Amino acid sequence: MNCAYHPRTLFLLAGLLVASLGVVRAEAQPTIKLGNLVDLTGPTSDQGKDIAQGRTDAVQYFNERGGINGKKIELVSVEYGFQPPRAVAAYKKFVEDDKVLLVLGYGTPDTEALRPYISKDKMPYVSGSYSGHLTDPRQTPYNFPGGIDYTSQIRIFLNYVKETWTDTSRKPRVAFIFADNAYGRAPIEAGRQYAKEIGVDLVDEEVIPTVLTDATSQLLTMKKKDPDFAYINTNTQWVPVVLKDSYKLGLKVKYMVNNYGIDERTPKLAVEAAEGVMGIQDVAYWGENVPGMKTLMEFHQKHHPNDTHASPYMRGWLWVIMTVEAIKRAGPSPTGESVKKALESLKDFDTWGLTPPFTYTSEDHRPTNRARLVMIKDGKIVQMREVSVERDMKWIGK
Amino acid sequence: MTDQLVFMLQLIITGIAVGGVYSLMALGFVLIYKASSVVNFGPGELVLFGAYVSWATILHMRFPLYVALPLTLVIAIALGLVIERGVLRPLIGQPIISVIMVTFGVASVIRGFLNMTWGSDTRPFPVLFSPEPFHLGPVPVSPVHLWSFVVVMALLAAFSVFFRFSLTGMAMRATADNQQVALSLGVSVKRVFALSWCIATVVSALGGIILGSVRGGVDFSLADLGLKVFPVVILGGLDSVPGAIIGGVLIGVLENLSGGYLDPIMGGGVKEVAPFVALVIILMLRPYGLFGKVEIERV
Amino acid sequence: MKCGGFRVSYRGDERIFDTAAPIVVLAMLFVVLALVPRFGGTYWLDVLNRIGIAIIGALGLNILVGYTGQISIGHAAFLAVGAYSTAILEAKAGLPFYLAIPGAALLTSLFGLVFGIPSLRLKGLYLAIATLAAHFITTYVIVHWESMTNGVLGFNVAPATLFGRPLDSDARIFYLIFALVVPAALFTKNLFRTRVGRAFIAIRDRDVAAGVMGVSLFKYKLLAFVISSFYAGVAGGLMAHHSRILFPDAFTLLVAIDYLAMIIIGGMGSILGSIFGAVFMILLPEVLKLTATSLTGVYPQAFGLIASTRDVVFGLAVIFFLMYEPQGLARIWGRVKSYWTLWPYSY
């Protein structure tokens, strides 16, 4: 009998493994637990890493200053690769095992899928997803998108088209290019309706896969309809592919990209194809001259000066800042309901200047209706002007 | 030219260009299979390896191009040797399912290793080719695609000559035919296997460099392209080098045509699935593909 | 003292357990399992549930790949068909779960029948590639047949109700899952005590010879696909009730590869192997997560490395087992058992 290893060694190893599993988390004083969902390995991981870092840093910052009402904040983090099934499993764990007070959510597919559970569990859910479907407290009372919602953004795009269109002989033609998932699709239906309302011709819609390698055939199909403007609703990792393919085909379309599709890295990735491309900026870029930036940069200098950061990092901070404020307002024994009410009490809340001031109400979970229009010029993102849409209650929840 | 015709031509030419890249990946696959009957189920990861290593040497460590590119290829050779010697050699003679799974395992290790070392951010790929498209009639073609096609054609010519006329090439073909007899004639089968893996990794690395240039960035989705290799090699024949090239181009064209014509009707996604539908059809009608050897047993 | 496999009658040869000892152990195991939901934390219950589902799926795949030698990378597609069929049958046809899951399993078997047909013409590698294509085509259909499956937006599954009580927590689903794992394992064991099972093994070992002996390759290969997909259908249906939201993402090619890894690492052609493999593959990321979390205090970057470490460990595990222990954990277990039984003798 040829035994390449001794069974007794196996038992020893098995014992060690079991023992190592026994490295139990020591019982600590009461903390405020926040569930933390991030994508570090999936199709949005380039942003997810920064977001995760931003959240961790912000929590550390607040803990260094005594936490919230004397209690330290504890992040219960789960990496889920942008795969909704894993998000669902993580959420179950957050609610039943860790008994978190609030969840810092992430992607649209999983946040939207979890809606019924979030409402049933009365779990305040601050999400990286800005889907319009999360903004109506009558349907999703516990969801709080952490930024200007996608529906408002597509309305900004359509308003821009209408405003800058000078040819009176015909209506302007637009196309939507969006990712084949709940995030990409979120604002499209509303976009269709709004375009019709304001008299803009939606001539084409192109679906691109979540993970995009080549958009040529979609762009060629779009070219047939000859749109003047196109709105791209996918992530920063994939937008450059669309832009480069468009450049190669020599398309004369003017592009606008949503907030999650454009950031400081886009000009580097798409190079000449990015020239003239516009985008919507929801949060300050790294190094921008806003009051809070100094604090972030000091922290970064102190703890990890060798990293580089882009706007997702700021979002990570932003969501923790507003969460901390809400929990503080909820008093010494916060519950899901009291935190929800506290979030809804945020009015013109100053997010350290990282975004326009946030206002949530019990009828409207859209934090803001203002953003900035940016354009890529000479390989850099240049801020053009502030834009806003009316807080039209007609578009709540759409 | 009418609009319809121009549209179709654009799709076809883009398909040929994209197909060139598929051909490169398929070439790596076919070479391994041809010489050692091993099926590599992780071709995407080899391409990924090439893309990341070339990125690292050019941008991260800032070697000049004429150092970085050969260095990448040398590292690719080393990888091929490690895989062949360390993993495949002990498994000679094992059932095919073991070999298939082990290549999945290797692919997983490569992917995990790359993720650990360089993380999964999208890295901008160094600009090796001018982005200005030039025009083939009414159709714009980017130089990157043209160059990849040229590289593929050059490799096709080189390999055809290699297999037909060089001693090593003949040795490889002999080994593919019948290992025992080749051994008895003095062919070092071990050397042939090692050589075939090294060539495959080098070719895949080239594919990675080209893909990186085409996309402008390297990230982990490059590996997903790897599975497209299968429709290509089934169409062209698992052990045929010209088959890999022609199959690659055909699949690229098929993809783009179905994308251009069927996507609007069926709501997207047809482009990705069309090669696999084609694969099933080919398997049912002509499993050896266009140029493969007729050797599949039937029941 | 009996030495080795000591059989004196055909009846004895067919027996599953030679002595009473394993039966006692199993009984104790069942008692422990029945008590787990009372005391276990939800997280680990969830893990156990996933293990249970994986065991059923792995048993099915093992029947096809391990016992009959037909390579299939399409297992994720079968799971998907089972899961979505269950969900759709319940939502659109109003069937209760105890009809929907078997119904879905039957549908999946039909699906398996269709995909078994290429196995009649293709062998080994070509069959593997055909199943690969089947996977992508199935995924495409699921994502784009939105009227039925809701595509990428996810399909909500209402909790199963048993005697008016909803099975909506991990603790309750646990009983359902393990109530199905036991018959699944038993059925598999019995299958290989019958001529059908022996036919499968004959096909794996030397299909031409089997054909010559009178084993109808046509019938038995298809049967293997059908039975294997039935298991996958059941596992899929359980998945639908366990996670209660179905996404096409839950059924990627990686899932199929994971199942193949389960039976390879666990042991092909072995029921115990399927169980070990399922436990190993599900626990591996959990152990890694625990290690990384406990390391985070010391080494904050550890958290981000979990996913890549999992890939590396998974790949290395597969390679290691294929090189040094092709018969998997089941074989190791067998060796350990005989070492203890026969000590101080070596055989």
pLDDT value of position A26:
43
Q: Which of A7, A88, A97 shows the shortest C-beta gap to C41?
A: A97
Q: Which DSSP helix (H) or strand (E) runs through A256?
A: strand A254-257
B216 and A206: CB-CB below 8 Å? Answer: no
* DSSP letter for each residue of A36-95: EEE-SSSTTHHHHHHHHHHHHHHHHHHHHTT-BTTBEEEEEEEE-TT-HHHHHHHHHHII
Contacting residues of A for B271, CB less than 8 Å apart: 217
- Structure confidence at residue A266 as a pLDDT band (50, 70, 90): confident
pLDDT value of position A24:
41
Tell which residue, A205, A200, A232, A235, has the closest CA to residue A218: A205
The larger pLDDT score, comparing residue A58 to residue B240, is at: A58
pLDDT value of position B295:
58
Tens-digit pLDDT profile for residues B7-47: 888 888 878 877 887 888 888 888 888 777 788 888 888 88
Which chains lie within 8 Å of chain B at 3 or more CB pairs, if any? Answer: A, C
pLDDT value of position C217:
86
Q: Which of C71, C140, C309 shows the shortest C-beta gap to B269?
A: C140
Helices (H) and strands (E) in chain B, counts: 12, 4
Tokens 């050779």 locate to B77
| Nearest-CA distance A318 → chain B (Å) | 22
A85 and C250: CB-CB below 8 Å? Answer: yes
Complex-level ipTM: 0.83
| Nearest-angstrom CA–CA distance, B233 and B248 | 8
Query: Quick count: other Cβ atoms within 10 Å of Cβ A65?
Result: 8
pTM of the model: 0.84
Q: Which of B98, B238, B279 shows the shortest C-beta gap to C322?
A: B98
pLDDT value of position B298:
44
- Structure confidence at residue A254 as a pLDDT band (50, 70, 90): very high
Mean pLDDT of A92-114: 86
- Structure confidence at residue A27 as a pLDDT band (50, 70, 90): very low
Q: Which of A217, A240, A272 shows the shortest C-beta gap to B217?
A: A240
Contacting residues of A for C155, CB less than 8 Å apart: none
- Structure confidence at residue A221 as a pLDDT band (50, 70, 90): confident
Tens-digit pLDDT profile for residues A116-150: 888 888 999 998 889 888 888 888 899 999 889 99
Q: Best residue in A8, A11, A12, A21 to probe C by mutation, most C CBs within 10 Å?
A: A21
Q: Closest chain A residue to C283 measured between Cα atoms? A: A21
Tell which residue, A352, A351, A329, has the closest CA to residue A339: A329
Mean pLDDT of A20-42: 69
pLDDT value of position A2:
38
| Nearest-CA distance A211 → chain B (Å) | 7
Low-confidence ranges of chain C (pLDDT < 50): none
Above 90 in pLDDT, residue A235? no
Q: Closest chain C residue to B89 measured between Cα atoms? A: C323
> Which has the minimum average pLDDT: A159-173, A201-215, A323-337?
A201-215
pLDDT value of position C82:
93
pLDDT value of position B228:
85
Above 60 in pLDDT, residue A176? yes
pLDDT value of position A3:
40
pLDDT value of position C18:
66
Mean pLDDT of A387-397: 86
Query: Is there a contact between A222 and A206 (Cβ–Cβ < 8 Å)?
Result: yes
Contacts (Cβ under 8 Å, ≥6 apart) of C41: A97
Quote the percentage of chain C above a pLDDT of 90: 22
| Nearest-CA distance C30 → chain A (Å) | 22
| Nearest-CA distance A5 → chain C (Å) | 10
Q: Is C46 in CB contact (< 8 Å) with chain A?
A: yes
Q: Best residue in C72, C115, C135, C140 to probe B by mutation, most B CBs within 10 Å?
A: C140
Mean pLDDT of B90-105: 81
- Structure confidence at residue A25 as a pLDDT band (50, 70, 90): very low
